[in-house]
Structure 1
Amino acid sequence: MYNLRGHHLFCLLGYRGMGYSKEYVQNMTRIHQTLREDPKTPTHIIKGPDQLCNKYPNSGEYHCQHDNIYERDAAILKLMGLEIGQILYWEDIETRIRKNVIPSDIHTICETCSWRTYGVCEEGIEELLAGKGLREVE
């Protein structure tokens, strides 16, 4: 089972093998590929730093505790009809995204995210809406 916060549900859709450090990328790739290969992986929705935040590099300000990150988490969970403490299979999260999310939601909810400008999260949502799952990361 993975513990994930709200905004990382979207980050996983857009993940393309880039990250903040080598250790962060290795961790995110492992989690991403597990969810991709086994969509029945249980996922526990938590508040605050999660298993992806655990590998955020200790090289300055720790953004995982910023108020705007908590606000983004809450907005994404609200959009998807999810609550802190729920445990769902990853495939159920994908189903909720298909039912409740459109690519342009990234522009408003993730407006201040530095990764938004790459456009990969919108692509990830588009691919999910087209019936594809998480894309393979090389």
Structure 2
Amino acid sequence: MYKLRGHHLLCLLGYRGMGYSAEYIENMTHLHHTLRMEPNTIIHLVDEPDYLCEKYPNSGKYHCHDTHIYKRDALIMEKLALQVGQKVKWKDIEERVCQHIIPSDLAEICETCSWRSYGVCEIGIKDIHLGKGLREVK
């Protein structure tokens, strides 16, 4: 079981092996691979720094407590009809993405995210809608 906050549910869809540090990338790649290969993995939904935040580098500003991050978490949880404290299979999260989110939603939901300019999250959502699941990250 992995603890994840709202916005990381969408970050994982677009993840392509980029990140804030080598340790962060290694951690996120491990989680991404696990979810890709074992979609029945349980996700415990939280409203605080989570499994991925644990490896955020301590060089510079730790944005995991920023107000806008909490707002993004809450918006995504609401949009996916999920609640903090729930324990949900990853495959059920993917199904909720299919039901409640389209790629163009990210322009509003993730408006201030520095990773949005790469366009990979929109592609990740399209892949989920097409039933492809998470892309392989090498």
Relative to the length of structure 1, the TM-score reads 0.99
Distance in 2 between the 1:104 and 1:40 partners?
A: 27
Question: What's the secondary structure of 1:43's corresponding residue?
Answer: strand
How many equivalent pairs are there?
Answer: 138
In structure 1, the partner of 2:124 is 124
Partner of 2:63: 63
Matches within 5 A, 1:29-48: 29-48=29-48
Identity %: 61
Deviation readout 1:18-61 (Å, 9 max, x if unpaired): 00000000000000000000000000000110000000000011
Distance 1:117 1:128 in 2: 20
The structure 1 segments of at least 4 consecutive aligned residues displaced by more than 3 Å after TM superposition are none
Q: What is the match of residue 105 of structure 1? A: 105
Q: What's the CA shift string for 1:58-93, capped at 9, x where partnerless?
A: 001100000000000000000000010000000000
Structure 2 gap ranges (5+) = none
Q: Within the alignment, does 1:19 sit opposite 2:33 as a pair?
A: no
Separation (CA, whole Å) in 1 of partners of 2:131 and 2:61: 38
Q: Over aligned residue pairs, what C-alpha RMSD do you find?
A: 0.4
Partners of 2:33 and 2:107 in 1: CA distance: 26
TM-score normalised to structure 2 length: 0.99
Name the structure 2 match of 1:94: 94
